[in-house]
Amino acid sequence: MRLELAEFPVTQVKLEGKFSYHSGTLEVDGGEIKSLVLQDMRIADVELAVVVPGEKVRVTGIRDVVEPRVKVNGKGQVFPGTLSPVAPVGEGRTHRLPGMAVVVSAEYEGTIRAGSAVQRSAMLDMWGPGAEASRFSSRVNLVLVLRLVKGLSEIEAHTAIQRAEYAVAKRLAETTTGVKPQRVESYEFGRKKSKLPRVVLIQGCLTDSHHPHSGLSYYGLPVRDSLATLVHPNELLDGAVTGDTTRAMAPFPTTWDWQNHPLVLGLYEEHGRNLNLVGVILERIRFETHLGKEVIAHNTAQLAATLGADGALITWTFSGNCFVDVMLTIRACEQRGIKTVLVTYEYGGKDGVDTPLLYYVPEAKAIVSTGSRDRWIELPTPERVVGPNERIQLFSYPGAPVVSAWDSVTLDARDLIIGGVDIWGGQSSTCRAY
Amino acid sequence: MISKEIDRVGLAVALISAMYPLVQQVGASRIVKGVRIPHPCGDPSLPPELDLRLRREIVETALKALQSEVKGPSLFLPNMAVAA
């Protein structure tokens, strides 16, 4: 299965005019984008804005980030099961627009008002310390500001937001059909025999089986109490794995993260040189008994062993007790002779002196830290605010304090900044040892 | 952490938790295995009379644990058969 990603880098987005892509400039027909979004009766209104790196602008109410892509060759279309029919994607040619992203923001009160399923949105500063903290501040962002009709359930709101952002992302990428790409990158597994070590990526995924959306979808189907599942990395590149747009927080991956998974891309880069990539295992984590955690660890390691893996790169999503599942998976792999490297962020508290990890096993000998999730951050006053509301809710419980988006904000942790936690090592932080 | 502080001032303490290996690692002294992470002290999926028996069994195990001398983290298992 060979997928070519043809690159059409964007350095400038203009909202007036007809759709076109020409040497880095993307012209967008704002009127057509609006009518495309408003085809969905669950969306009452939409506004468009462009924000650029370095600009003193704050975006509020963010639900997701997506990179514009379209398939021009091969079976199916991008975002199978969510935007387009279910078809075996990951083959042929897909156009992508690096250098820009579509950021979708939406006001949504939610029918669930408290607890772990409550709706969440995040913010993004395009300048200053907030920009430094996030991987989404270095590109030109086209922001969709959605107003949803009142009274939608969580799953309806999610579907409306997701459909809108994906339809727009695909429409933007369609401007490049017939245009010569700046670069083409190929992604393919070698079938030829190789003596290189066989490496699998184990992607732990927190899913909440009792939430309206579990937090992880495969071809649009929410994954709930699943056992480990083997997927082709090219499926990720074509948007077959997505999340829940009513719960955007820094420790959750966005669609952009699934499309640009840094460990998938890194393993592909080494494929055929230093290692042999053999696949991606999606491991559901957050089982509610210790037995469940032991079983998923065993099942995942068994699948990796069946693939003949010599090594496994292990990472995860979100937070909490599901990290026990991750650590037990490391143990189960090591017990089978599969060498492991864990890629994870640390806690540490706002001053960095608390326990960095929730749980550990002695078998976890190789860990790559992607930095802290917890460190406090001060965000200065913006000159412009884009988004569905001009206030920021600091916590999710009912009646939690709100601050004006126009003010400076002090955060105890990075959760409220989209891309504020380096979940999979895609950012370029360095550390100093004392 | 709270349980360790209670220990430190010399009061007997038992901690009911479904994540007992994690609690062992943190160093709690008397650990009672709970049902599930969202509901360690009972099981709302059981009929009320069976849930009551289960809850009593867990609490009685915790009371036995409180009366036991322990050296280091010790696990006490209530007599229960609960699905994962």
The DSSP secondary-structure symbol of A208 reads -
The whole model's pTM is what? 0.95
CA neighbor of A430 nearest in space, from A351, A370, A356: A370
Residues in chain A within 8 Å Cβ distance of B22: 321, 324, 358-359
What b/e sequence results for B54-82 when a residue is b if at least 16 CB atoms lie within 10 Å of its CB, and e otherwise?
Answer: bbeebbebbeebeeeeeeebbebebeeeb
Q: What is the pLDDT of residues B8-48, one digit of tens each?
A: 999 999 999 999 999 999 999 999 999 999 999 999 999 99
B19·A324 Cβ contact <8 A:
yes
Q: How far apart are the first and last CA of chain B?
A: 26
Q: What is the pLDDT of residue A71?
A: 98
Q: Is A321 on the interface with B (CB under 8 A)?
A: yes
Name the minimum distance, in Å, from the CA of B38 to any CA of chain A: 7
Q: Would you say residue B83 has pLDDT above 70?
A: no
Number of helices followed by number of strands (H, E) in chain B: 3, 3
Residues in chain B within 8 Å Cβ distance of A295: 84
A324·B38 Cβ contact <8 A:
no
Q: Would you say residue B78 has pLDDT above 90?
A: yes
- Give the Cα separation of A79 and A225 in Å (integer): 23
Model confidence band, residue B67 (pLDDT cutoffs 50, 70, 90): very high
A290·B36 Cβ contact <8 A:
no
Task: Check: CB of residue A65 under 8 Å from CB of residue A419.
Answer: yes
* DSSP-assigned beta bridge partners for residue A275: A271
A359·B25 Cβ contact <8 A:
yes
Q: What is the pLDDT of residue B84?
A: 47
- Give the Cα separation of A67 and A169 in Å (integer): 7
Locus of tokens 């083409």: A184
Q: What is the pLDDT of residue A120?
A: 92
Model confidence band, residue B82 (pLDDT cutoffs 50, 70, 90): low
Mutate to test the interface with A, among B25, B35, B43 (most CBs of A within 10 A): B25
Q: What is the pLDDT of residue A428?
A: 81
DSSP codes of every residue in A335-380: HTT-EEEEEEEE--TTTT-S-S-S---TT---EEEEEES---EEE-
* 273-302 in chain A: CB under 8 A from chain B: 287-292, 295
The angle subtended at Cα A226 by Cα A223 and Cα A230, nearest 5°, is 90
Q: Is B15 helix (H, G, I), strand (E, B) or coil?
A: strand
C-alpha dist (Å) from residue A299 to A71, A282, A336, A356, B53: 34, 11, 12, 27, 33
- Give the Cα separation of A381 and A409 in Å (integer): 8
Name the minimum distance, in Å, from the CA of A285 to any CA of chain B: 13
Residues in chain A within 8 Å Cβ distance of B82: 289
Q: What is the pLDDT of residue A192?
A: 66
- Give the Cα separation of A379 and B64 in Å (integer): 53
**Cβ pairs A/B, distance under 8 A:** 29
* 31-70 in chain B: CB under 8 A from chain A: 35-38
B84·A359 Cβ contact <8 A:
no
With a cut of 70, which residues of chain A have pLDDT below it?
A: 190-192
Q: What is the pLDDT of residues A20-74, one digit of tens each?
A: 999 999 999 999 999 999 999 999 999 999 999 999 999 999 999 999 999 999 9
User: What's the number of CA atoms in the CB half-sphere (13 Å) around residue A202?
Assistant: 39
Q: What is the pLDDT of residues A149-196, one digit of tens each?
A: 999 999 999 999 999 999 999 999 999 999 999 999 999 986 667 899
The phi and psi torsions of A133 (rounded to 5 degrees) equal: -80, -15
The beta strands (E) that lie in A286-338 are given as 311-315
Residues in chain B within 8 Å Cβ distance of A289: 18, 35-37, 82, 84
Q: Is A433 on the interface with B (CB under 8 A)?
A: no
Q: Which two tokens stand for residue A253?
A: 């991956």
Task: Check: CB of residue A377 under 8 Å from CB of residue A129.
Answer: yes
